[in-house]
């Protein structure tokens, strides 16, 4: 007998520990309901189960996708139902208009209703949406290789965006009105007076000089009164006084009656005429500078005109020059530049939203062409090789070209160019002159397509795996595609262009032709609705198939992953009994070494 190693106790302990471990696993399975709680429970089963779970979750989403597709089709088909109703009404009107008993005014009334119904067909096509996706107006337009953040640059058609970017003016527009000794010498005593009743026009308002008894602010001729103290004089001093009084009166009348010049104390000013020499008859001038209340561009200044044709002794000049003008003169430059951002994305071969060979960027008359070789550069054209370059290298090349052009005197309207990330930042200090004073920007994307006349194609993902898709095509259903839309000149339009007027029913012959057009349009809408209905029926079967596949696959995954509660309860009961027996045997084994004490007595 041994006391250092109680082999029986160790054996009992090992079996007890194993039984307790098995009991713990049984408790875990019973409490979770899963046979596989960790990979160690069944490594192969876990791998199979996880693949099945991916399929099950994919089938859940595919079912939702299919239901969304059905909803989309129902939305489009419901809109076409109303289009059908409109077409039937238009056909009725065409039949009515083809009757010879109608007068011209009768057909005019019918034509008006036909026009309005045509506009409604276009409205339905333009506004029928599912999740903000237009369904009946064709495919969305393509994506340009760069997005311009300025509203002054707009899509001009055929893959071209263009516009002129202007900075906000930072100075008021003004004009110098010059009065010389000839004005001051006008007589107020002759009959008629040379100064009384003189008129001039500023900003479409007619002013009249009044030197007699003080009138109201409006003269008897209906003009704005310019009340001035005037003395017929032959001396320089008298003439100078007349000129200065006249300038003060004009300034006060204009600022009082024209909001363009209101509150311009800090802007408008008078440079009084002065007697610079003792000798009589020495020439002199006085200058009245009228400036706008607000900052004005060149184009805004051109809207404010001057006319002194009835008062030709007064001259209008561009500020501080002797250049004759007939409008306010705004500053062509500003102290605050305007920035425009052209944001590029991706690599030259990654997607449509990047420059491709043949694309062009035109800045202030300088053309930058993108190519896969470097050639064809001229005084106004530069070619950038985009082959094997990322977008950042392309942008650096664009910046370098523009900086070189500016250093050479080109692109005068561009005040600076910079690159921030994938964005080209262009700045200009030119204000709007109504012509081409600003920074001209043109973007040409050769592979851009405005797909307004193409059917809408949607890829619906109706399965759990990557390749399980269904392509749905919805035709353009606007009035032009149906052959019912006309332009202002009466010509029939193509798809993608909203009608200006409806199909012609203005005469018996035209109305009979309209009946044929209506029949064709009704047939087209019927075919489209039939196609959508067929797809909807197919998708309903797809939904049932997905539901059945989901159910069967879930059942298969359950057999692998879920625990059999009855069977596991049997194992738990067995292990529980073994635990109790093991504990008892371990206690007995621990008592065996005490038998040695009997030998030592």
Say whether pLDDT at 66 is over 50.
yes
**pLDDT tens-digit map of 505-525:** 999 999 999 999 999 999 999
Would you say residue 186 lies in a domain?
A: yes
Biggest alpha carbon–alpha carbon distance for the chain: 165
* Same domain? 354 vs 418: yes
Question: Could you list the residue range(s) of the whole structural domain that residue 409 is in?
Answer: 146-168+334-449
- Residue 112: pLDDT band by 50, 70, 90 thresholds? very high
pLDDT at 376 (0 to 100): 61
**pLDDT tens-digit map of 358-373:** 889 999 889 999 888 7
The Cβ of residue 4 has, within 10 Å, a number of other Cβ atoms equal to 5
The Cβ of residue 354 has, within 10 Å, a number of other Cβ atoms equal to 24
* Same domain? 218 vs 277: yes
> C-alpha angle 497/517/525, rounded to 5°?
70
pLDDT at 350 (0 to 100): 45
* Same domain? 401 vs 463: no
Arithmetic mean of pLDDT over the chain = 86
Would you say residue 101 lies in a domain?
A: yes
Q: Identify the domain boundary among 330, 356, 377.
A: 330
Q: Are 330 and 296 in contact (CB under 8 A)?
A: yes
pLDDT at 514 (0 to 100): 94
pLDDT at 79 (0 to 100): 95
Would you say residue 213 lies in a domain?
A: yes
Average pLDDT over residues 131-149: 80
Q: Identify the domain boundary among 330, 354, 371.
A: 330
Say whether pLDDT at 86 is over 50.
yes
- Higher local confidence (pLDDT), 595 or 571: 571
* Same domain? 103 vs 181: no
* Same domain? 280 vs 400: no
Say whether pLDDT at 56 is over 90.
yes
* Same domain? 354 vs 425: yes
- Residue 263: pLDDT band by 50, 70, 90 thresholds? low
Listed in sequence order, the DSSP H helices in 258-386 are 298-301
* Same domain? 111 vs 79: yes
Say whether pLDDT at 43 is over 80.
yes
Nearest to 139 by CA among 576, 579, 472, 443: 472
Would you say residue 34 lies in a domain?
A: no
Would you say residue 589 lies in a domain?
A: no
Say whether pLDDT at 460 is over 50.
yes
* Same domain? 123 vs 214: no
- The β-bridge relationship of strands 172-180 and 314-317 is antiparallel
Q: Which of 44-48, 159-163, 340-344, 518-522 has the lowest mean pLDDT?
A: 159-163
**pLDDT tens-digit map of 189-230:** 777 788 888 889 998 899 998 888 767 788 888 889 989 888
**pLDDT tens-digit map of 142-176:** 667 888 888 888 877 778 888 888 888 888 888 98
Looking up tokens 């009166």 gives: 249
Would you say residue 7 lies in a domain?
A: no
Q: Identify the domain boundary among 544, 572, 592.
A: 544
* Same domain? 108 vs 214: no
**CATH number of the domain bearing residue 526:** 1.20.1330.10
Strand partners, 134: 129
Nearest to 389 by CA among 343, 420, 357: 357
Provide the number of structural domains found in the chain. Answer: 3
Q: For residue 396, what are the contacts with CB-CB under 8 A and spacing of at least 6?
A: 419
* Same domain? 119 vs 259: no
Would you say residue 481 lies in a domain?
A: yes
* Same domain? 181 vs 212: yes
Nearest to 505 by CA among 81, 85, 89, 82: 89
Would you say residue 465 lies in a domain?
A: yes
* Same domain? 179 vs 320: yes
Average pLDDT over residues 487-495: 83
* Percentage of residues of the chain with pLDDT beyond 90: 30
């Amino acid at each position: 007998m041994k006391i250092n190693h109680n082999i029986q106790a160790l054996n009992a302990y090992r079996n007890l520990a194993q039984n307790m471990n098995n009991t713990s696993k049984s408790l875990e399975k019973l409490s979770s309901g899963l046979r596989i709680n960790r990979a160690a429970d069944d490594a192969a089963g876990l791998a199979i189960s996880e693949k099945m779970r991916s399929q099950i979750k994919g089938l859940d989403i595919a079912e939702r996708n299919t239901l969304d597709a059905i909803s989309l089709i129902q939305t489009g088909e419901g809109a076409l139902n109303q289009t059908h109703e409109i077409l039937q009404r238009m056909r009725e009107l065409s039949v009515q208009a083809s009757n010879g008993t109608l007068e011209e005014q009768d057909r005019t009334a019918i034509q008006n209703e036909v026009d309005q119904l045509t506009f409604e067909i276009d409205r339905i096509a333009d506004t029928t949406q599912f999740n903000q996706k237009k369904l009946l107006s064709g495919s969305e337009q393509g994506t340009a290789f760069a997005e311009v953040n300025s509203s002054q640059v707009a899509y001009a058609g055929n893959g071209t965006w263009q516009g002129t970017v202007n900075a906000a003016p930072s100075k008021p527009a003004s004009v110098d009105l010059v009065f010389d000794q000839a004005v001051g010498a006008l007589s107020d005593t002759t009959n008629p007076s040379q100064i009384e009743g003189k008129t001039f026009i500023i900003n479409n308002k007619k002013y009249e000089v009044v030197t007699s008894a003080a009138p109201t602010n409006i003269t008897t001729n209906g003009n704005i009164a310019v009340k001035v103290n005037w003395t017929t004089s032959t001396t320089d001093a008298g003439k100078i006084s007349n000129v200065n009084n006249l300038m003060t009166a004009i300034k006060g009348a204009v600022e009082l009656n024209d909001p363009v010049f209101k509150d311009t104390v800090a802007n408008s000013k008078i440079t009084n005429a002065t007697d610079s020499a003792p000798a009589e008859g020495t020439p002199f001038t006085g200058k009245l500078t009228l400036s706008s209340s607000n900052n004005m561009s060149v184009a805004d200044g051109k809207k404010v005109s001057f006319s002194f044709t009835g008062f030709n002794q007064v001259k209008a000049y561009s500020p501080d020059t002797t250049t004759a003008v007939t409008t306010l003169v705004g500053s062509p430059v500003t102290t605050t530049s305007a920035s425009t951002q052209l944001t590029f994305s991706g690599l030259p071969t990654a997607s449509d939203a990047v420059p491709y060979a043949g694309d062009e960027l035109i800045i202030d008359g300088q053309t930058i062409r993108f190519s896969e070789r470097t050639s064809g550069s001229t005084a106004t054209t530069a070619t950038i090789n985009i082959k094997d370059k990322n977008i950042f290298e392309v942008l650096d090349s664009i910046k370098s070209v523009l900086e070189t052009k500016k250093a050479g005197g080109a692109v005068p309207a561009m005040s600076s160019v910079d690159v921030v990330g994938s964005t080209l930042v262009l700045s200009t200090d030119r204000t709007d002159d109504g012509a081409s004073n600003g920074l001209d920007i043109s973007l040409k994307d050769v592979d851009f397509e405005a797909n307004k006349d193409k059917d809408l194609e949607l890829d619906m993902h109706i399965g759990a795996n990557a390749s399980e898709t269904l392509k749905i095509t919805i035709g353009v259903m606007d009035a032009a595609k149906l052959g019912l839309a006309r332009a202002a000149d009466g010509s029939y339009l193509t798809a993608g262009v909203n009608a200006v007027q409806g199909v012609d029913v203005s005469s018996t012959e035209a109305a009979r032709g309209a009946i044929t057009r209506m029949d064709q349009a009704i047939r087209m809408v019927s075919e489209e609705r039939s196609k959508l209905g067929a797809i909807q029926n197919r998708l309903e079967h797809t939904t049932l198939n997905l539901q059945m596949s989901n159910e069967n696959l879930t059942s298969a995954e359950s057999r692998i992953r879920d625990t059999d509660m009855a069977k596991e309860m049997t194992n738990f009961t067995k292990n529980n009994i073994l635990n109790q027996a093991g504990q008892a045997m371990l206690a007995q084994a621990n008592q065996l070494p005490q038998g040695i004490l009997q030998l030592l007595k």
